[in-house]
Amino acid sequence: MMAKTWCHLLNISYMGLSGTIPPQLGNLSFLVSLDFSFNLFTGVLPQQLSFLHRLKFISFGVNKLSGGMMLWLGYLPKLEHLSLRNNNFTGFIPSSVSNLTNLQFLDFSSNSLQGDIPQELGRLQNLKNLYMEYNHLSGHIPSSIFNMSAPKAIAFTGNELVGSLPSDMCSYLPLLQGIHLSSNKLSGEIPSNLSECSQLQLISLSYNSFSGQVPREIGNLNFLHTLYLGGNNLNGVIPFEIGNLQNLAQFGIERNQITGTIPPSIFNISSLQVLLLNQNHLSGSFPKYMGNLTKLKQLDILNNKLTGGLPINLDHGLPAIEVLVNLRPVSEF
C-alpha cells in the first residue's frame, strides 16, 4: 500500500501574482511554511489562515494587502517567522501577537500601523529580530522591549515615538547588534550603558531630539561599523574615544551643537567611508594630511568654524570622494 505524502511548504514568492488570498488555504492543515511575498496580492488576509496550527513560517511581505491587523495572528502557537512588511495594513498592533512565544522574527515595517507598541511584546523571549519601521506608531517604546535577552535587531525608524531611552537599556540585551531608532521624536540623553551591548554593529539615533553629550563609552564598542547621531540637540565635544572604533565605516553627527576640535584619532580610522560633521560649532584647524582614510567616500564639514586649508592628499592618494567644506582662512580670526 502506497503511503500518502504531503507538501509542507507553499512558496509562490516573486511570481508577479495578483488577486486576493483564497480562504481555502485554511484547509491545508499540513502546511508548515507559507510564502506569498513579493507579489501583487490585494485585499485582506482571510481568518481561515488561523486554522493552520502547524505553521512556523509566514511571509506576505511586499504585496498590496490591506485591512486591520488580524487578532487571529496570536493563535498560531508554533510560528517562528512572521513578515507582513511593505503592505497597506492599518490599525493597531494586536497584543495577541505576544502569544507567539516561539517567534524569532517579526516584521511589520512599511505599513500604516498606528497607536502604541504593546507592552506585551516583551513576553517574546525568543524574538531575535523586531522590525516595525516606517509606520505611524506613537507613544513610548515599552520598557519590556529592553528586557528581552534574545534580540539582535530592534528597529523602529520612521515613526512618531516619544520619550527617552532607559539608562539601563543594555543591561539585558547581550546579543544586540543593531538599534534603529532614527526619525522619531525621542528625547533625553543617549544612555552611557550602550557600551554594555558589546555586540553592537549599528547605532542609528539620528533625527530625534536627543540632548546632552555623546557618551565616551561608545568608544568601547569594538564591532561598531555605523554610528548615526545627526539631527539632534547634542552638545559638548566629539569624544576622543571614537578613534578606538577601528571597524567604523560611517559616522554622522551633523546638525547638532557640537563644539571643540575634531579629535585627531578620527583620522586614524582606516575603515572610515562616510564622515558627516556639518552644521555644528566645531573649531580649530583641519588636518593637513588624512593618509589613513584611504576608503573615505564622503566628507562633509560645511557650516562650522574650522580654519586652514584642505588636506594635501584629498586629490592624491584617496579614492573618488565627495567633499563639502568651507574652511576659513586663519586671517579671518
Give the pLDDT mean for 298-313. Answer: 82
Q: Is residue 319's pLDDT more than 60?
A: no
For position 286, what pLDDT does the model report? 80
Q: Determine the Cα–Cα distance for residues 290 and 276; give it in Å rounded to an integer.
A: 15
Band of residue 287 on the pLDDT scale cut at 50, 70, 90: confident
Q: Determine the Cα–Cα distance for residues 324 and 319; give it in Å rounded to an integer.
A: 15
Give the pLDDT mean for 83-98. Answer: 96
For position 332, what pLDDT does the model report? 38
Residue 55: its H or E element: none
For position 288, what pLDDT does the model report? 74
Give every CB contact of residue 226 below 8 A, 6+ residues apart in sequence: 201, 202, 203, 204, 248, 249, 250
User: Mean pLDDT in the chain?
Assistant: 92
Q: Determine the Cα–Cα distance for residues 30 and 54; give it in Å rounded to an integer.
A: 7
For position 318, what pLDDT does the model report? 54
Band of residue 321 on the pLDDT scale cut at 50, 70, 90: low
Q: Determine the Cα–Cα distance for residues 304 and 301; give it in Å rounded to an integer.
A: 7
Give the pLDDT mean for 102-121. Answer: 97
pLDDT in tens, 188-244: 999 999 999 999 999 999 999 999 999 999 999 999 999 999 999 999 999 999 999
Beginning with the edge strand found earlier in the chain, give each strand of the sheet holding 209-213 in spatial order. 18-20, 40-43, 64-68, 88-91, 112-115, 136-140, 160-164, 185-189, 209-213, 233-235
For position 308, what pLDDT does the model report? 75
Q: How many CA atoms lie within 13 A of 324 on its CB side?
A: 13
User: CA 325, 328, 333 angle in degrees (round to 5)?
Assistant: 155
Band of residue 315 on the pLDDT scale cut at 50, 70, 90: low
Q: Determine the Cα–Cα distance for residues 273 and 250; give it in Å rounded to an integer.
A: 6
* pTM of the shown model: 0.93
